[in-house]
Copies of this chain bind each other. A is one copy, B any other.
Amino acid sequence: MPRRSAETPDATPGAAASRSTIADVARVAGVSKATVSRFLNRRDELLTRDIAARVEAAIAELGYSPSPMAQALKRGRTRLIGLVVADVTNPFSVAVLRGAEQACQEAGYLVMLFNLGNQAARELEAIEALSSYQVEGFILNTLGSDPAALAAATRLGKPVVLVDRRHAGMQSDFVSLDNAGAVLLAAGHLAEQGHGELLFISEPTAGVSSRQERAQAFQAFLATHDGHSGHSGQLQGSLFECDEQHPQALDAALLAARQRAGSRRLGVLASNAVVTLRVAAALARLGWHFGEELGFVGFDETEWAPHVGPGLSAIAQPTGDLGRIAARCLLERLQGHQLPPRQTLLPGRLIVRGSSRKV
C-alpha cells in the first residue's frame, strides 16, 4: 500500500492520521533522511544555509516532530523517568511527585508514573513494566518490602533514588526528611508546653523505614529525658501502633495514657496525616477535644490542619524539595557521574497552632 500523500488532510474518522516521518520531511525538502536528521540533532555544524532553510520549512509545513519511540530504539535513550508511588492518594507522595516532575521537565525528561495502590506485591511488576518502557532511572516512594524489586532495577543497571523509605540492603541514593530531628522538634515542643506524659501514635511499622526511624527517635527522646524532671515534673511516654481494623484499641490507648498522665498534661504525637485523622475520629468518639484533654502535634502539614478544632500543630515536610532533589540526584547519575550512594536529609518545620499550646 502506497503511503498516503502528505497533502491529503484525511478526515476519515477512526483512521489515525499517520504522523509524518523523517522520510516525508526529506521528500518535501528534496534532501536525504540523513540530512534532516543532522539538522535536527546537530543543527549548527555542517549545513548549507539554503538546505537548512528548506528542511526547516518542510518540518514546519508538515508539523513534523520526531518519534521518541524510534529514537529510543536507536539510541537506547528515552528521556523517561519512572516514578513509583505506594499510593497516589497520599498527599505527601503527590507533593513529592510535583517537585520531581518539575525538575525532570526542566531537564527535558518526562515522568512515567506507576501507582501501587498500596499493594506491595505490585512493586516488582511496576519496575518491570516501567523498565520495559526503557525508563532511564527510577524514583521510588514505595513500601520497600520487596527486595526483588530494587534488585531488578539495579540488575538492569538503572539508577534508583529512594524517597522517604529505605529499602533493605540498598545501595541507592536516598532522600528524606530528617526524621530524628523532626521528632525531637515535635516532642521537645510538647514537653516545653508542659506535657509531661507523651504518647507517640504510629501506623503499624511493617518494616517501613521512616516509621521505624520516627518511633526510635521518640524512644531516644524519652531515654534522654527519663529521670530528668521537665517543666511539669517527670517526663514519661509510650508508643502505640494503631491498626486500621481496630479503632477501639486507639480509644483505649488514649484513655490509658490519660490515666497514666494523672495530673500531668497528655501530649500526643501522630506519625503521619493518616494517624492524625484516626486520632480525630477517636476524639470524636471519646468526646475529647484537641488542646483540652490532650496536646497534639502531627507529622505532615495539610490544608485542613488549620481548620480542625483549635488548629492542629504540625511538622511540615519540605515535600517539593524532596521531589526536586530526588530528581536532580537521579539526573546527575544519568549524566554518568560515578558517585557513592548519597543520603540527603532535609529538616522539618514545626508549625504551632492551638492544639499544642499551653492553655
Contacts and interface: CB of A to CB of B under 8 A. Distances in A.
A120 interface: no
Interface stretch (A35-43, A46-54, A125-133, A344-352): A125-133
B338 A134 contact: no
B69 A133 contact: yes
A81 to B, nearest CB: 12
The residue in A15, A76, A284, A304 that gathers the most chain B C-beta atoms within 10 A of its C-beta is A304
A161 to B, nearest CB: 15
B69 A134 contact: yes
| Interface bracket on A | 35 or more
Q: How many copies of this chain does the complex contain?
A: 2
Contacts of A309: 307
A98 interface: yes
A357 to B, nearest CB: 16
Contact of A73 (B70, B112, B133): B70
Interchain residue pairs A-B with the least CB separation, the first 10: A16-B157, A304-B304, A280-B307, A113-B113, A17-B157, A307-B308, A69-B72, A69-B69, A88-B94, A69-B73
Contacts of A113: 111-113
B98 A19 contact: no
Contacts of A112: 112-113
Interface of A: 13-17, 19, 65-70, 72-73, 76, 78, 88-89, 91, 94-95, 97-98, 101-102, 110-113, 115, 117, 128-129, 132-134, 155-158, 277, 280-281, 284, 302-304, 306-309, 336, 338
Contacts of A304: 277, 280, 302, 304, 307-308
A19 B73 contact: no
A110 B112 CA distance: 10
